[in-house]
């Protein structure tokens, strides 16, 4: 069982983070997860073995985080929810890791990316001029990955259609560390601004950002 991390994110235990390192075969992941038959059938139609394993690893992680069996579903916009539990959930997965954040009270968002990816396209499609000016050439790709994950996490929390990442989600300048905090502003289409605190960590050539 490759449970990498679980931890409560606040003193009242309303929010919880879990990370699973995918080291198992597809058959081993099936054995580890009490996945409903209809969901298992849906996963079986996915052509990519890597994506099938990611979906199964999410189920294995949920089994590790909940005492009871949970039923995972998705709204029409793709946002996940648990049918038999009122807690809010956000999910992210890469080829090697899956992560889940839960919160009993508020909407949440989480995103994970491999730092071995080239994030140069993010600069043009997702960053404002101020954010581009804050980039450091020596750590540009890692900074871009954190910017992207942070904006994805905010986007998932807000769950709105047609969000302009460059114009509507602003991430304050930050010093690159192994882990740290980020400040973000979401600008609604009516001009109303909402401010959020995020956290991030880097591990095993991956970056994980969440908003609880």
Task: Give the tens place of pLDDT for each residue, 65-96.
Answer: 999 889 999 998 889 999 999 999 999 999 99
Note the pLDDT of residue 34: 84
Runs of H (alpha helix) within the chain: 26-32, 37-44, 49-65, 120-126, 129-133, 140-158, 165-168
Mean per-residue pLDDT for 106-124? 97
Note the pLDDT of residue 51: 97
Residue 3 in this model has a pLDDT that exceeds 70 = yes
pLDDT in tens, 132-177: 999 998 999 999 999 999 999 999 999 998 999 999 999 999 999 9
Last-in-domain residue among 105, 136, 169: 105
Last-in-domain residue among 84, 105, 126: 105
Residue 1 in this model has a pLDDT that exceeds 90 = no
Crossing angle for the helix pair 49-65 and 37-44, nearest 10 degrees?
160
Within a 13 Å sphere around the CA of 137, how many CA atoms are in the beta-carbon half? 0
Q: Please answer whether residues 183 and 196 qualify as being in contact, where contact means their C-beta atoms are separated by less than 8 angstroms.
A: yes
Q: Do both 84 and 131 map to the same domain?
A: no
- What is the Cα–Cα distance from 20 to 24, expressed in whole angstroms? 11
- What is the Cα–Cα distance from 142 to 188, expressed in whole angstroms? 28
Entry pTM: 0.95
Residue 205 in this model has a pLDDT that exceeds 90 = yes
The per-residue b/e assignment along 37-70, b for 16 or more CB within 10 angstroms, e otherwise, is eebeeebeeeeeeeebbbbbbbbbbbbebeeeeb
Residue 135 has which token pair? 């980039």
Q: The domain containing residue 149 runs over which residues?
A: 112-211
The total of structural domains in the chain comes to 2
Residue 11 in this model has a pLDDT that exceeds 80 = no
Mean per-residue pLDDT for 178-197? 96
- What is the Cα–Cα distance from 70 to 199, expressed in whole angstroms? 27
Q: Do both 121 and 189 map to the same domain?
A: yes
- What is the Cα–Cα distance from 192 to 138, expressed in whole angstroms? 35
Last-in-domain residue among 105, 129, 152: 105
pLDDT in tens, 16-68: 999 999 999 999 999 998 888 888 999 999 999 999 999 999 999 999 999 98
Residue 45: give its domain's CATH number.
3.90.470.20
Note the pLDDT of residue 36: 85
Q: Do both 145 and 205 map to the same domain?
A: yes
- What is the Cα–Cα distance from 7 to 159, expressed in whole angstroms? 25
């Amino acid at each position: 069982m490759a449970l990498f991390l679980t931890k409560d994110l606040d003193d009242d235990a309303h929010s919880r983070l879990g990370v699973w390192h995918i080291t198992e075969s597809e058959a081993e992941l099936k054995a580890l997860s009490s996945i409903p038959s209809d969901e298992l059938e849906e996963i079986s139609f996915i052509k990519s073995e890597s994506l099938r394993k990611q979906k199964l690893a999410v189920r294995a992680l949920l089994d590790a985080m909940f005492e009871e069996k949970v039923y995972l579903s998705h709204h029409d916009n793709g946002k996940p929810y648990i049918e038999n539990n009122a807690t809010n959930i956000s999910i992210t997965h890469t080829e090697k890791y899956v992560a889940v954040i839960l919160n009993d009270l508020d909407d949440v968002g989480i995103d994970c990316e491999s730092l071995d990816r080239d994030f140069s396209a993010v600069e043009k499609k997702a960053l404002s001029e101020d954010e581009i000016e804050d980039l450091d050439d020596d750590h540009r790709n890692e900074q871009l990955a954190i910017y992207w994950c942070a904006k994805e996490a905010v986007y998932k929390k807000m769950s709105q259609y047609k969000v302009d990442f460059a114009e509507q989600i602003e991430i304050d300048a930050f010093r690159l560390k192994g882990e740290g905090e980020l400040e973000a502003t979401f600008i609604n289409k009516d001009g109303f601004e909402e401010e959020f605190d995020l956290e991030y960590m880097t591990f095993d050539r991956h970056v994980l950002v969440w908003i609880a």
